Chains A and B, each alone.
Chain A
Amino acid sequence: EAGVAQSPRYKIIEKRQSVAFWCNPISGHATLYWYQQILGQGPKLLIQFQNNGVVDDSQLPKDRFSAERLKGVDSTLKIQPAKLEDSAVYLCASSYTRGAQETQYFGPGTRLLVL
């Protein structure tokens, strides 16, 4: 089974520039998550999609971050404009639900450095 795919793997930009990340979840997984993981911390959920609908985006800084999953499969996360504190690893994950059981799989992440 292919895993969660993300691109790019690394990105270096200057503050105030824009950047976009792409995620392709595991085939058949209805739920897709974007996390921000700052060095030395646990992943922080930014947004969760169920198919193409948003389940939770309460921790997404909506003044600069946006995400979409138009066809309920791939997703993009955009930051515009970037700030220094956005430097982090952006992890995409997908999950399936069997009954009340949820199993989540993470992608390799995109390392963002904002200079």
Chain B
Amino acid sequence: GENVEQHPSTLSVQEGDSAVIKCTYSDSASNYFPWYKQELGKRPQLIIDIRSNVGEKKDQRIAVTLNKTAKHFSLHITETQPEDSAVYFCAAGVGGSYIPTFGRGTSLIVHP
């Protein structure tokens, strides 16, 4: 089955800095890679996703990159704000018959 590794487990940055979270996956059949943000005590919410037919996708301050050859994908947050503080999860699966495997999460702390 799919195995997703996520690093780092904790990331502490100053407001305005950039943050990068990296994930690797094992199953070359995976073609759908979503990222979720989970605030304390709340549900995971989809913030951005990428499919294997594209290498990069941007949405305002967040971007995701995908390297299928190396089987890794990354989340980039620019101009971080205190409200970006949360746990971020990556996941991988096969779109259309999606059975997702999640990473262990990265706790992002943005200091004002």
Contacts and interface: CB of A to CB of B under 8 A. Distances in A.
Contacts, number: 59
Interface in B18-43: 31-32, 34, 36, 42-43
B102 A43 contact: yes
Contacts of B44: 43, 91, 106
B97 to A, nearest CB: 7
Interface stretch (A17-25, A63-71, A73-81, A95-103): A95-103
Nearest to B98: A102
A56 B2 CA distance: 13
Given A106-B44, A108-B43, A97 B102 contact: no
Contact of A109 (B1, B43, B99): B43
A29 to B, nearest CB: 12
A107 B31 CA distance: 24
Interface string B69-112: 00000000000000000000101010111111111110000000
A41 B46 contact: no
Contact of B42 (A55, A105, A108): A108
B95 A44 contact: no
19 contacts: A42-B103, A42-B105, A43-B102, A44-B102, A45-B99, A91-B43, A97-B95, A97-B98, A101-B32, A101-B96, A102-B95, A102-B98, A103-B46, A104-B34, A104-B100, A105-B46, A106-B36, A108-B42, A108-B43
